[in-house]
């Protein structure tokens, strides 16, 4: 959906766009070809887009100046195996996939770095990514949007900015790939945590009744605190928390992560909540699990403290150990002495 939504600023800037679906997107490509309608984005895409099924990937990429990667976190290994090898030398990749991969030693790495591990040739490619608060629906509606392109070459980033930036799509640039990607990936896990409070309010007041914002705000703040701790673990610059905070805000107020957090807060078991949302891609669950695994490993190695991640570890207990929702409020308290 986000990959398709990127066609809006590109077409508004007069660029030729070729949209390629994965093997799972055949009906979507057929719908766009027939009616111009993206059935899950629920928007008509701009006119003038050429659509291709996956079998014609090389034809679509031929002569391209830039490739946008729009797979979900579940598709990064497929993307590395099937798309990266086809991208010609010197053509930059801009990935819109938000997420991190945990390693056996507890480290968390960005998807651009993972691509280099999965495909050694990728280390010589121009790999870039997008971070920041942006939903595919509102990008397609041309709502004012502030995001960040990150990569290892500021000159290439400036070129990409020139291609994509519009009067509504505003782009900052950063060479801190791990920092930007960590900040925006973690929003998935912590948005689930914040929306537990939505479900708890509905459990007390009934669905559609009064929502309690004090508790949501407290969980939001705790999420940011833990996200800053995670930024330190990956060696990212602290100011990247701004991209994570904006992305967390957007995710809390809409989307799939809000649904799963709300159902769990109402008292539904994780198994039942997943059954209720069958067919919906829930990257928040994957990111929460990977991050918790990394943190637990680092705690065992003495490189992290359990006291720094009470919300994340509670979310993990709910998801993987069927724990009751019982927010550890007292563990969020701090004392600062000057």
Which residues are marked as active site? 187
Reduced to 3 states, what is the DSSP secondary structure of residue 65?
coil
Q: Report which of 158, 130, 212, 193 is spatially closest to residue 325, judged by C-alpha positions.
A: 193
- Within 10 angstroms of residue 194's Cβ, the number of other Cβ atoms is 28
Scanning 128-167, the segments in alpha helix (DSSP H) are 136-140, 154-164
- Give, rounded to a whole angstrom, the gap between the first and last alpha carbons of the chain: 49
CA 226 → CA 39, 214, 321, distances in Å? Answer: 37, 19, 21
Q: ∠ CA(140), CA(142), CA(145), 5° rounding?
A: 105
d(CA 148, CA 129): 8
């Amino acid at each position: 959906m986000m990959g398709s939504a990127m066609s809006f600023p590109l077409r508004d800037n007069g660029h030729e766009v070729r949209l390629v679906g994965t093997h799972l997107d055949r009906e979507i490509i057929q719908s766009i070809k027939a009616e111009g309608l993206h059935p899950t984005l629920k928007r008509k895409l701009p006119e003038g887009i050429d659509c291709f099924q996956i079998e014609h990937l090389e034809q679509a990429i031929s002569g391209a100046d830039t490739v946008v990667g729009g797979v979900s976190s579940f598709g990064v290994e497929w993307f590395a195996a099937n798309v990266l090898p086809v991208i010609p030398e010197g053509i930059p990749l801009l990935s819109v996939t938000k997420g991190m991969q945990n390693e056996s030693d507890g480290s968390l790495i960005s998807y651009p770095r993972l691509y280099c591990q999965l495909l050694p040739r990728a280390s010589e490619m121009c790999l870039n990514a997008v971070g920041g608060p942006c939903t595919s629906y509102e990008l397609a509606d041309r709502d004012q949007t502030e995001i960040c392109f990150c990569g290892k070459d500021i000159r290439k980033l400036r070129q990409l900015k020139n291609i994509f930036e519009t009067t509504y799509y505003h782009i900052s640039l950063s060479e801190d790939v791990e920092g930007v990607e960590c900040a925006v990936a973690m929003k998935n896990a912590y948005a689930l945590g914040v929306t537990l409070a939505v479900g708890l309010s509905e459990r007390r007041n009934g669905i559609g009744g009064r929502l309690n914002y004090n508790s949501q705000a407290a969980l939001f703040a705790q999420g940011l605190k833990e996200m800053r701790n995670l930024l330190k673990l990956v060696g990212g610059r602290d100011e990247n928390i701004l991209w994570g905070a904006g992305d967390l805000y957007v995710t809390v107020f809409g989307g799939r992560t809000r649904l799963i957090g709300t159902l769990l807060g109402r008292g539904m078991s994780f198994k039942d909540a997943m059954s209720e949302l069958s067919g919906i891609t829930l990257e928040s669950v994957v990111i929460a699990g990977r991050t918790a695994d990394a943190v637990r490993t680092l705690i065992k190695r003495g490189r992290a403290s359990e006291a720094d991640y009470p919300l994340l570890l509670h979310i993990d207990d709910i998801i993987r150990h069927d724990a009751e929702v019982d927010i550890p409020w007292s563990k969020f308290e701090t004392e600062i002495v000057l």
